[in-house]
Structure 1
């Protein structure tokens, strides 16, 4: 089945990122549906992690958790990164298309599934003294993810190492700017709606 072959290829990208991301861009081996499937898998994994991690490392109160809220912690930053990176690299002579950025970002998230799943099981059998092993795997997953993001960004846009680092840092800045402008826009809309509603009430009372 082709989809299973595409899923298997994600492991090649994770363990051989230079070859993997090169083939992803120039051999069209990267699939958008697979990238979105990984995004869904990470979202589900984070929900399970927050709800079912062992009490030694889980400081969340299960009754206060809302699975829908995980969308804004995973899906929103994912989309925001892709939009910010595409907007920025368009001005910095980047060769990556928006679809390629989405695919590369999705494939780079695979380590979060590969390591969080065994870590979830580990968290339910370790003691407080052994919690350092849990946090070690957490750190490895994060570093692996950042490493793949770095290689993916460098390959997709055909940047040098230094330009890739600068681009990734600037992308984070652009993400902050987009959030600020978004909040400013919604605040302005809210004030306009409130102003119009106040005028409507005044006219209704005088009528």
Structure 2
């Protein structure tokens, strides 16, 4: 984790060749990131927290987190196989997990600050949070560049195609959910109508 912050290119190389990191450690980091993400949304100080368990379902937040993560990793792997990327799905998963380190550090700081700062100092919380997000995003891009041995232009293309894939996949899932919901509703109405006719 320290190497990822100080020497990210070296860290990504070590992760790629398997000298550092593992699926287990990456999985633990994803779980820790998820816990911090939940605390970031639901656990901030009262002044800065507009969310609560009554308005946001932890199950829904969990689904959103893991679906987006899965779509990004899976989509990036599929896009990279088409565009001559060298990285395996394991390389992508591990490097993305380790790229979350800045967020894992900065988000808890933002949460703690939300309990001690006033509304007039809210910009400090926003600044700390954005540093963590943007730093992690930069590391993800750097990871994709080095894992797949891409140029910067190829990396930008890969990231944009991955995001496009994720958005299209989410839209398709939403459409399928709505269609399936209507089909279930229609079948239920047909069964109710048949039962009513039989009783008559």
| Alpha-carbon contact 1:43-1:70 (below 8 Å) kept | no
| Alpha-carbon contact 1:46-1:70 (below 8 Å) kept | no
The total of aligned residue pairs comes to 198
Q: What is the match of residue 164 of structure 2?
A: 173
| Alpha-carbon contact 2:109-2:128 (below 8 Å) kept | no
| Alpha-carbon contact 1:108-1:148 (below 8 Å) kept | yes
Q: What is the match of residue 4 of structure 2?
A: 13
Q: What is the match of residue 90 of structure 2?
A: 99
Question: 1:79: Cα distance to partner?
Answer: 0.8
Where 2:49 maps in the other structure, the secondary structure is: coil
Question: 1:164: Cα distance to partner?
Answer: 0.4
| Alpha-carbon contact 1:94-1:158 (below 8 Å) kept | yes
Where 1:56 maps in the other structure, the secondary structure is: helix
TM-score, normalised relative to structure 1: 0.85
- Give the 3 Å change call, closer, same or farther, for CA 125–200 of structure 1 in structure 2: closer
2:135 to 123, 144, 148: 144
Q: What is the match of residue 41 of structure 1?
A: 32
Question: 1:69: Cα distance to partner?
Answer: 2.7
Where 2:47 maps in the other structure, the secondary structure is: coil
| Alpha-carbon contact 1:56-1:131 (below 8 Å) kept | no
1:84 aligns with 2:75: yes
What CA distance in whole angstroms lies between the structure 1 residues aligned with 2:136 and 2:129? 11
| Alpha-carbon contact 1:94-1:157 (below 8 Å) kept | yes
What CA distance in whole angstroms lies between the structure 1 residues aligned with 2:174 and 2:156? 28
Unaligned runs of 5+ in 1: 1-9
TM-score, normalised relative to structure 2: 0.87
Question: 1:205: Cα distance to partner?
Answer: 5.3
Unaligned runs of 5+ in 2: none
Q: What is the match of residue 183 of structure 1?
A: 174
1:122 aligns with 2:113: yes
